[in-house]
Structure 1
């Protein structure tokens, strides 16, 4: 899991996250994480809540981490299959989901319904009003 990408890099076109198949610029990370943050808010994500991350892709993990911080949640990677204490939401893929607990509500990134919602969701900046809606 990456630590955190730069918050406000000087060049929005600078690559801030790299993976085996793709790179993300600062602007792309911002837009992608806004879409995911809106989905988390729709699932009931709240400030201060730990949100589990069970994602192998470094690019998708960085997007998830940034989205969680945008909703003021606490990104918590799944380590050794152990769910973070207090987590009620999590982000993963279908391949990992079968080995994970049912104790949290999982956002499964590669489910067709999730992909559709993600692709049509707004990528505008998350506001205080968004977080309190």
Structure 2
């Protein structure tokens, strides 16, 4: 049986099960929705770790956003939201609202957030509250 223990920061050498990917990306998708993510909107991904980048991209897909990878030192053009780590944040634009995965406040929100499947109602509730 796959582990359901949240792992907000995973060693890139570790593999995720499909269930772990689903649950982890649902929690991050909810945080993105809370930040105002919308269908069709580009969301920057400035993450160097392959596992976490894959989870971020899956979370963005769940909110119906468009993942835009940001290479080291490159600008996150045309985006209002992004996902990154503290180590990358200083090189990134202040014009983007960043979800910083390894920030203590993000980790607390992650741990108390729901990992259930993102629904149309979840996406609609986010638009109403924004």
State the TM-score, normalizing by the size of structure 2. 0.85
User: Partners in 2 of 1:98 and 1:83 — Cα distance?
Assistant: 12
When structure 1 is superposed on structure 2, of 76-85 and 28-37 the one drifting more is 76-85
User: Partners in 2 of 1:96 and 1:30 — Cα distance?
Assistant: 25
Q: Deviations over 1:93-123 (max 9, x none)?
A: 0000011110100000001000000011000
RMSD: 1.6
Contact residue 76 and residue 96 of structure 2 kept, 8 A: no
Q: Which residue is 1:44 aligned to?
A: 36
1:125 equivalent in alignment to 2:113: no
- 1:82 is paired with a residue of what secondary structure? coil
State the TM-score, normalizing by the size of structure 1. 0.83
User: Partners in 2 of 1:88 and 1:81 — Cα distance?
Assistant: 18
Larger relative contact order (CA 8 Å, sep ≥ 6): 2
**Of 19, 26, 41, which residue of structure 1 is paired with 2:12?**
19
Q: Which runs of 5+ in 2 are unaligned?
A: 3-10, 126-130
**Of 86, 91, 96, which residue of structure 2 is paired with 1:94?**
86
Q: Please show how residues 72-83 of structure 1 align to structure 2 within 5 Å.
A: 72-83=64-75
- 2:82 is paired with a residue of what secondary structure? strand
Q: Which residue is 1:5 aligned to?
A: none
User: Partners in 2 of 1:84 and 1:97 — Cα distance?
Assistant: 11
Q: Which residue is 1:109 aligned to?
A: 101
- 1:129 is paired with a residue of what secondary structure? helix
Q: Which residue is 1:8 aligned to?
A: none
